[in-house]
């Protein structure tokens, strides 16, 4: 297993956001996390990237407990978290945003290589390099946010609702890129409200409800299961 959460709970102050989360992502796997608003999806990603610590339970990455490791150490170990709502640096240029994504790299040649890699996935960014990120369209900002996350070539990419607010055509484009990253053997944990679209490209999925993992299975099985569809997927 690349990463596993074992009965994790976590709190914001006194508010229990995660009650009992257990999930796993294997090397090269694309796993989707679905659940209603407030179910704890984003919080789960924060626990994995180390910016929140579990109150109880364990997070094990590459065979090691992550509890004592800083977010920065976890990034260095290959976990990159692309947060909800894009969060690009609006007053910095596209290029500067991508450079910040490579903050932990110092080899200029390597950074250039990674830039090329990002441009391969998102050619549009290349023509916008000197533009302030805040002036990009919503879709372009989403691409920049993902591209910024790819600068470190993560082993485990955490994507929090990358399709939010995108037109159907852009959704297809971003989904295709996620599929391509999957084919390149990057492990991806995808949080998505658009469950149908996400499940179609995923290997497996977990369903979260009020801070618990309630169902899981192969994505195709969940899609085919009428009860799961009715209860959790909403279509």
Ligand X SMILES: Nc1ncnc2c1ncn2[C@@H]1O[C@H](COP(=O)(O)OP(=O)(O)OP(=O)(O)O)[C@@H](O)[C@H]1O
Contact pick of 1, 51, 67, 224 for another protein (by CB under 8 A):
51
Q: Are 57 and 65 in contact (CB under 8 A)?
A: no
Q: Are 46 and 18 in contact (CB under 8 A)?
A: no
**Is 43 near ligand X (CB under 6 A)?**
yes
Instruction: Report the chain's C-alpha Rg in angstroms.
Output: 17
42 near Mg ion (CB under 5 A):
yes
Q: Are 33 and 204 in contact (CB under 8 A)?
A: no
Under the binding rule (CB under 8 A), the answer on residue 103 touching another protein is: yes
Question: Considering CB distances under 5 to 8 angstroms, the limit depending on partner class, which of another protein, Mg ion, ligand X, none binds residue 17?
Answer: ligand X
Please, what is the minimum distance in Å from the beta carbon of residue 96 to another protein? 6
Select the residue interacting with ligand X from 5, 25, 39, 190 (CB under 6 A): 39
Q: In terms of C-beta distances under 8 Å and separation of at least 24 residues, what long-range contacts does 113-118 make, across chains too?
A: 114/150, 114/151, 114/152, 114/153, 115/151, 117/150, 117/153, 118/147, 118/150, 118/151
Q: At what angle do helices 108-121 and 138-150 cross, to 10 degrees?
A: 140
Q: Is 35 in the site for ligand X (CB under 6 A)?
A: yes
Among 26, 72, 185, 196, binds another protein (CB under 8 A): 72
Chain residues in the site for ligand X (CB under 6 A): 12, 15, 17, 35, 37-43, 84
Chain residues in the site for another protein (CB under 8 A): 49, 51, 71-72, 75-76, 80-83, 87-92, 96, 99-101, 103-104, 132, 148
Chain residues in the site for Mg ion (CB under 5 A): 41-42, 84
């Amino acid at each position: 297993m690349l990463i596993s959460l074992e009965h994790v709970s976590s709190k914001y102050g006194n508010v229990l956001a995660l009650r009992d989360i257990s999930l796993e992502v294997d090397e090269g796997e694309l796993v989707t996390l679905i659940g209603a608003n407030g179910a704890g999806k984003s919080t789960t990603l924060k626990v994995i990237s180390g910016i929140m610590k579990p109150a109880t339970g364990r997070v094990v990455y590459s065979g090691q407990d992550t509890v004592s490791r800083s977010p920065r150490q976890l990034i260095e170990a290959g976990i990159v978290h692309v947060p909800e709502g894009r969060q690009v640096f609006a007053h910095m240029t596209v290029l500067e945003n991508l450079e910040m994504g490579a903050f932990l790299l110092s080899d200029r040649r390597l950074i250039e290589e990674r830039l090329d890699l990002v441009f391969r996935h998102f050619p549009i960014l290349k023509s916008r390099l000197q533009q302030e990120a805040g002036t990009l369209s919503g879709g372009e900002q989403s691409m920049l946010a993902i591209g910024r996350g790819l600068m470190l070539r993560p082993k485990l990419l955490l994507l929090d609702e990358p399709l939010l607010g995108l037109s159907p055509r852009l959704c297809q484009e971003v989904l295709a890129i996620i599929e391509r990253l999957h084919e390149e053997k990057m492990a991806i944990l995808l949080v998505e409200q658009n469950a149908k679209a996400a499940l179609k490209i995923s290997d497996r999925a977990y369903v979260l409800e009020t801070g618990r993992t309630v169902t899981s299975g192969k994505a195709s099985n969940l899609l085919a299961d009428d009860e799961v569809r009715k209860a959790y997927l909403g279509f």
